[in-house]
Amino acid sequence: MKPAALLLIPLLTLNCTKSDTTWIHATVVGKDGNCHLPLLDFGRDYPYIEKITGVKGQHFCIAINLPPADTATNTQIEFQATAPGPDEGVACITLYLNYPEIKITAIR
C-alpha cells in the first residue's frame, strides 16, 4: 500500500495549477452602450484577452470590478483578470454591440 501512495504524490502535484499572474495593459475608451460599464481597448495585449474570453480577434472588453477611480476615458491601466464566473456576469439590455466581459482581479 505504501508504494502506491508514493506513486500518487507526483501525480497530485502535477494537477495543481498556478493562477495566471500576467499583468495586462489597456486603455479605458468609454462605457459600453448596454451595461454602461467601462470599455477597455487592449491594443497589442489582446492575445491575453483571447485566452480569458475565448473570443478571437477581439480588442475590446467590458470590465467588471474596475475601481471607479480608474474608469475615466483615456486612463491607462495595468491589471490581472479572469473570466467572470456564472454568477458574476452582468445582465444588460442588448440594444448595442455586445462585448465580452472580464473580471478585474488586481490592479496597479
Q: CA 1, CA 48: separation in Å to the nearest integer?
A: 44
Q: CA 33, CA 95: separation in Å to the nearest integer?
A: 8
The CATH fold of domain 22-107: OB fold (Dihydrolipoamide Acetyltransferase, E2P) (2.40.50)
What would the pLDDT profile of 3-52 be if each residue is shown by its tens digit? Answer: 544 444 444 433 333 345 799 999 999 999 999 999 999 999 989 999 99
Domain ranges of the chain: 22-107
The predicted model scores a pTM of 0.77
Q: What pLDDT shows up at residue 93? A: 86
Mean pLDDT along residues 59-80: 95
